[in-house]
Amino acid sequence: MTEVTLHVYDVTNSGSEKTNNTIMQINKIFKDGIGLGGIFHSAVQVYGDEEWSFGFCEQGSGVFSCQSTKNPMYTYRESIKLGRTSFSIYKVNQILRELSREWPGHSYDLLSKNCNHFCDEFCERLGVPKLPGWVNRFAHAGDAAAEIAGNTAYRFRQAKTEIISASKVAYRFLAGVASNNSVVAPESPGNSTRGSPRFQGTWFKNLISNGAKPSNSSETENNNDEAAHQQQRQDAEAPLRLNPHRDI
């Protein structure tokens, strides 16, 4: 069995001294101050003096090695003992060859597939505990935020599509109502008492103004006779008199 060690660095490869100092301050406050996390690079050492990590490159594998705690791109911070692996050096080399094929350099992503994700995977295959949560917490938080934002945008687009579809249906319905109201359709032979929406609306208005209920056909004939007699009466008589036998 052999020891597995995690080496942690502050990410200070921006090319700007001001930016590098800002990152150092962030790590100091959020990691050293409150133990939350920061912006870190990590590498795993097992068998020998080299550490193994993962980074971006346009072609080939992103898995690389360098002398432990001496990566020239970053500022070394600390080392953490993760445990001991029972695998032989031959088995460890086999695992590294597999990881080299599975982690091409062009697949590197700052939030979802970075050096810390690689070290997690390597440690899991070695049979030792994964990295402490604070090492990659900022990347996990950023990845979760990106996923939430993506889901929110998708739901917004879906809701927008549904609203547009519903609006089109409502528009067609209202257009159909307007068309029916503008033309009085002929009554069907078996439904002579039904008129167009406009006719029904007028009939209902007259019904309310007269204060009467709809009458049957015989009552309609009596009303017509009564109206003829009323025209022959003198102007002093009332213009409209209800039939005393009519249902109110």
Sign of CA dihedral 105, 110, 111, 117: positive
Task: Please state whether the predicted TM-score (pTM) of the whole model is above 0.75.
Answer: no
Residue with more model confidence, 173 or 243: 173
pLDDT at residue 111 in the model: 87
**Domain 2-144 adopts which CATH fold?**
endopeptidase fold (from Nostoc punctiforme) (3.90.1720)
pLDDT at residue 242 in the model: 44
pLDDT at residue 142 in the model: 47
**Residue 102 pLDDT > 60, yes or no?**
yes
Whole-number Å distance between alpha carbons of 32 and 9: 14
Q: Catalytic positions, please?
A: 41, 115
Whole-number Å distance between alpha carbons of 213 and 222: 15
Across the chain, what does the average pLDDT equal? Answer: 75
DSSP codes joined into one string, 60-129: SB-EEEEETT--TTSEEEEEEEEEEE---HHHHHHHHHHHHHHSBGGG-BTTTBSHHHHHHHHHHHHTS-
The 3-state DSSP class for residue 43 equals strand
Whole-number Å distance between alpha carbons of 155 and 161: 10
CB of 23 closer than 8 Å to CB of 14 = yes
Residue with more model confidence, 229 or 61: 61
Whole-number Å distance between alpha carbons of 67 and 4: 15
Whole-number Å distance between alpha carbons of 202 and 165: 34
Where are the chain's structural domains?
A: 2-144, 211-248
pLDDT at residue 146 in the model: 41
pLDDT at residue 195 in the model: 44
Residue with more model confidence, 97 or 237: 97
**Residue 232 pLDDT > 70, yes or no?**
no
Segment 62-89 shows an average pLDDT of 96
